[in-house]
A = this chain, B = another copy of it.
Amino acid sequence: MIFDAIQKHLAQAEDWTGRRLLVTAGPTREPIDPVRFITNHSSGKMGYAIAEAARKRGAVVTLISGPTSLDAPAGVEVIPCQRASEMRDRVLERFGECDVLVMTAAVGDFAPADIHKEKIKKSGDQPLLLNLQPTPDILKEVAAHKTHQTVVGFAAESENVVQSALGKLQRKHLDLIVANDISAPGIGFQSDFNQVQLIRGADAIEVLPRLTKREVAGILLDRIRDLMPPARGSA
């Protein structure tokens, strides 16, 4: 029993060796003017947990991160970025050389069409109309460059969670999508816990219990490992 456990641990400890993992994490920030910006509640914890766990299991990990208050995981290359368009550029630069892309980042869907050079002043009771344009769809652009890569997306939804995630899985040609319900309390954004469903298709949905983000990262890396084609150079 003990021997089995050790062997299993050692096997797991090396099961990502030779794999190159690209992870995105955190929110993006879209400037309105030099002072103000639009962002979201993502803490980056899920992506950092995946990056750290994969590194420990032998992967070469690059983490493309929006602004967070987290420390860089040991042995992981961290590439910082702010806007969605910057994150797109960094992902496309590195996508060709990775084996797996896991997009945990909460990429802003909309950005101000014009960034004001000076701080916008309040002028009495005057409202301010902000014209927001959709940001680049990173996963859609990635799909166009896909060769051997396994691509995993995240879907944070506040309603019709499974249906929305399934739509995204198919539309963006993902291998797996991780769906979570952001309307549920005590999980998701900012929390150390998450409660997710791993979705590969309408008939392939794995519902996980409420777990720490570290535990979710471990299970997700198990599932991705089983999806990947054999490492190049192996039998």
Q: Which residues in A have some Cβ–Cβ distance to B below 8 Å?
A: 32-41, 69, 106, 108-110, 113, 118-122, 124-134, 137, 156-159, 182-183, 189
Contacting pair B129 A133 (CB below 8 A): no
Contacting pair A127 B132 (CB below 8 A): yes
Contacting pair B110 A157 (CB below 8 A): no
Q: How long is the Cα–Cα vector from A137 to B39 in the complex, in angstroms?
A: 24
Contacting pair A41 B35 (CB below 8 A): yes
Contacting pair A131 B129 (CB below 8 A): yes
**Could you write out 5 A-B pairs with CB less than 8 Å apart?**
A35-B106, A36-B110, A37-B39, A127-B131, A130-B130
In the assembled complex, which residues on chain B have CB atoms less than 8 Å from the CB atom of A133? 127-128
In the assembled complex, which residues on chain B have CB atoms less than 8 Å from the CB atom of A159? 118-119
What secondary structure prevails in chain A residues at the interface with B?
A: loop
A121 CB, nearest partner CB in chain B, Å: 8
A134 CB, nearest partner CB in chain B, Å: 5
Contacting pair B127 A34 (CB below 8 A): no
In the assembled complex, which residues on chain B have CB atoms less than 8 Å from the CB atom of A129? 129-132
Q: Closest residue to A32 on the B side, CB-wise?
A: B38
Q: How long is the Cα–Cα vector from A35 to B32 in the complex, in angstroms?
A: 18
In the assembled complex, which residues on chain B have CB atoms less than 8 Å from the CB atom of A36? 38-40, 108, 110
In the assembled complex, which residues on chain B have CB atoms less than 8 Å from the CB atom of A118? 158-159
In the assembled complex, which residues on chain B have CB atoms less than 8 Å from the CB atom of A126? 134
Q: How long is the Cα–Cα vector from A109 to B128 in the complex, in angstroms?
A: 10
